[in-house]
Structure 1
Amino acid sequence: MKIGRNEKCWCGSGKKFKHCHYGREKEQPFSKGEAIGASKKIGARKCCYVPEELKGECDKKIINAHTISKSGSLKEIADTTNHVLGLKIDLANLFKHKGKLVPERMGINQASTFTGFCAKHDKELFSCIEDQEFCGSERQLHALMYRSVAKELYAKEGSLLSSELLKAGDRGKHQIDQLFIQKFAADNQLGIDAAQKELSELKGKLDEQLLGKASNNLSHLIMKAKSPIPVAVSSIVSPVSDFEGNLIQDLGDLSVPAESLVFNSFSSDGKGYVVFSWLKESSKVLGFINTLLAIDRDNIFSALVRFFFGVSENTFISPVWWDGLETSQKDKIQELIMAGVNPFEFEPKELLVDDGIIFTGWDVGDITKVNF
């Protein structure tokens, strides 16, 4: 296909061909150093995710806000040197491990942080879960959900910037490779755009509740145990399949809004908690939750391990618990971590199904349903 120099470029950038892909195959290839530098810049973005009405009250200090309480949760599972195990999600680390994500030691000051709130609003919004014993109050449940959604929105906005970075990866490539890279980037961006829109709508509903403009329309499932949980997590997912292997929603169909589930596992006052939160109107998520509740209590922790590591990267592990695992258990967790990392592979529908590998270290006690 021949394109005139002054015609719009085939890649969809809106630029003229002569200012875009003309002669691209002769350009200097995008270097590893450039990619790492751009990735670090994207990861260093600073903002405050409070509602627009409150942004005028922000102070100038954007902090490394913890998505998982440092004092209550991370310290509970840390080793004697105040380190936990977690995934370091950055381009330099992916190059280091040849594309694999592996649990690594990190200090509790750095674990689970993102620059998504100013110091003033981080304190005001989350002191109810940072400085108070967890009791499952409406305010605490809202705060847990709000922080997880803000962190994921921050990540999705970063993914959009990374998608633009990916488009530059065809420099110095053959024209056929350019077509492939641009098509992949465009398809990837469509999915990110849809996910970001859905997250923004969810956060908008949480904003209205925060500001007292809307009544509570959230459902929660709270699991409690007498001991801290050795795996701490804060995340949000649109589940594809349930714990019985049933497909519940097709994320590839962008014409149908996906239903989201927020989940947190943490410790408070020496006790361990897992909290699931969702919009009450989300019937598919409720069906997902019911398949979890159908599992025998002795096997729920194993199901949670499969879920946490299979769908979330913002997961942190007690080094003592990890060191006590058998090789088959560690291999299973590594397999779960890598599930869904390859963009050319679909999430297996049996991802959460019991495969006979049992995990111990936390026994569910009380289970409370809120606003089902």
Structure 2
Amino acid sequence: MKIGRNEKCWCNSGKKFKHCHYGRESEQAITKGELIGQSKNIRSRKCCYVPKALQHECDRRIVNAHTVSKSGSLIEIADSTNHVYGLKINLANIFKNKGKLVPEKIGVNQASTFKGFCSKHDKQLFSCIEDHPFNATEEQCLALMFRSVAKELYAKEGSLLSSEVIKSGDKGKQLADQLSIQKFAADNQLGIKAALRELSDFKDQLDGQLLGNFTNNLSHLIFESSRSMPVAVSSIVSPVSDFNGTIIQDLGDLNVVAEQIVFNSFSSDGKGYVVFSWLTKSAIILGFVNTLIAIDKAGIFGALIRLFFGLAENSFISPEWWDGLPDAQKKKIESLIMSGVNPFKFDPKGLLIDDGVNFSGWNIDNIRKINF
């Protein structure tokens, strides 16, 4: 490869070659400590995801906002030391566990938090679900959605920043390795940027709903129980397959605009709820939801477990429920957590279908449909 010192660098950074990859193989390789430090800085950045029209009202204090209610849900399922099981997804922990994601004890003060709202708007937007029993009001369902989408935007923006850190991992390496690392990072960024565009468009819809610009563009499915839900979740995903194992959208094609569904599992006033929410116009998601409703009530909890751990990372488990599971069920959940980590072993068709591993500990008393 022959590039003039003053030409644009081959890695598409926009910098001149002499200020970018010239002599890269002789540079000091980035250390594990530096990688962990940069990762920590990315996870600690502060912002407020309130709609732009309200940003002038922000105060200066960014809080550790809970995506799953601490006062109701997390404390409801925590053990006597106020801990729940969850995934600690950070670079230091990934190094420690040799790339494996395993449920570990997390204090309820740290579980599900991110620095995504100022103190004023965290209180203003989510008081309806933090300070009041859940009654499936339009305001409460919208608040659940808004918080899940904000957390996912925060995570995806962090992933984009992390991909820039990955690019620095070619320091001290020969050209072939530099090319490989830069190609991997560039391909990764294409997917992240596509997801960010889709999430931003989704949030624009919620911003409009929050500001009262339009209504009745959201649909909700609610499972209710007289028992607390042992797994608390807050997530938004673009499912590839439904509960029958049918492929419903191809996320490998970046020209496809993915449709998304938000789901929240939580406890409130001693009762358990799972709330699915989506844009009413999303025909693919409506079909996805219908394959879940079609499952016999006794099998829905197992289907939810496959969904929670197969597609969501922001999940938290009751230690009492987890410790009481047979080994086969624990292994199933651990395999679900690792699904998709290795794309060569990932089977999207089989992810959500019943494979005979049953789960108990929560029953559905009522199913409510709103606006569909």
The TM-score by the shorter chain falls in which range?
over 0.9
Which residue in the other structure is 1:198 paired with? 198
- CA deviation after TM superposition for structure 1 residue 229, in Å: 0.6
- CA deviation after TM superposition for structure 1 residue 345, in Å: 5.2
- CA deviation after TM superposition for structure 1 residue 341, in Å: 2.0
Counterpart amino acid of 2:264?
A: N
1:25 is aligned to 2:57: no
Which residue in the other structure is 1:342 paired with? 342
Q: Is the 8 A contact 2:216 2:371 kept in 1?
A: no
- Give the RMSD, CA atoms, in angstroms: 0.9
1:254 is aligned to 2:251: no
- Whole-Å separation in 2 of the counterparts to 1:237 and 1:346: 17
- CA deviation after TM superposition for structure 1 residue 30, in Å: 1.3
Which residue in the other structure is 2:279 paired with? 279
Which residue in the other structure is 2:106 paired with? 106
- Whole-Å separation in 1 of the counterparts to 2:250 and 2:66: 32
What secondary structure does 2:350 align onto?
Answer: coil
Counting aligned pairs with the same residue, the percent is 71
Which residue in the other structure is 2:9 paired with? 9
Which residue in the other structure is 2:289 paired with? 289
1:245 is aligned to 2:248: no
Count of paired positions: 372
- CA deviation after TM superposition for structure 1 residue 254, in Å: 1.1
Which residue in the other structure is 1:318 paired with? 318
Which residue in the other structure is 2:207 paired with? 207
Q: Is the 8 A contact 2:261 2:276 kept in 1?
A: yes
What secondary structure does 1:203 align onto?
Answer: helix
- CA deviation after TM superposition for structure 1 residue 343, in Å: 5.2
1:302 is aligned to 2:302: yes
- CA deviation after TM superposition for structure 1 residue 33, in Å: 0.4
1:150 is aligned to 2:126: no
- Whole-Å separation in 2 of the counterparts to 1:230 and 1:59: 35
What secondary structure does 2:220 align onto?
Answer: strand
- CA deviation after TM superposition for structure 1 residue 342, in Å: 3.0
Which residue in the other structure is 1:41 paired with? 41
- Whole-Å separation in 1 of the counterparts to 2:174 and 2:316: 42
Counterpart amino acid of 2:321?
A: W
Counterpart amino acid of 2:188?
A: N
Which residue in the other structure is 2:328 paired with? 328
CA 1:312–1:253 in structure 2 vs 1: closer, same or farther (change >3 Å)?
A: same
- Whole-Å separation in 1 of the counterparts to 2:241 and 2:173: 38
Partner deviation per Cα, 1:138-173 (whole Å, 9 max, x = no partner)? 000000000000000010110110011110011111
Which residue in the other structure is 1:115 paired with? 115
Partner deviation per Cα, 1:272-320 (whole Å, 9 max, x = no partner)? 0000000001111111111111111101101100100000110000000
Which residue in the other structure is 1:216 paired with? 216
Which residue in the other structure is 1:135 paired with? 135
Q: Is the 8 A contact 2:240 2:348 kept in 1?
A: no
- Whole-Å separation in 2 of the counterparts to 1:361 and 1:296: 16
- Whole-Å separation in 1 of the counterparts to 2:344 and 2:89: 19
- Whole-Å separation in 2 of the counterparts to 1:364 and 1:254: 38
Q: Which runs of no fewer than 5 residues in structure 2 stay unpaired?
A: none
Which residue in the other structure is 1:75 paired with? 75
Moved over 4 A (4+): 343-347
Counterpart amino acid of 1:350?
A: G
- CA deviation after TM superposition for structure 1 residue 14, in Å: 1.1
Which residue in the other structure is 1:65 paired with? 65
- Whole-Å separation in 2 of the counterparts to 1:344 and 1:161: 25
- Whole-Å separation in 2 of the counterparts to 1:189 and 1:258: 17
TM-score w.r.t. length of structure 1: 0.98
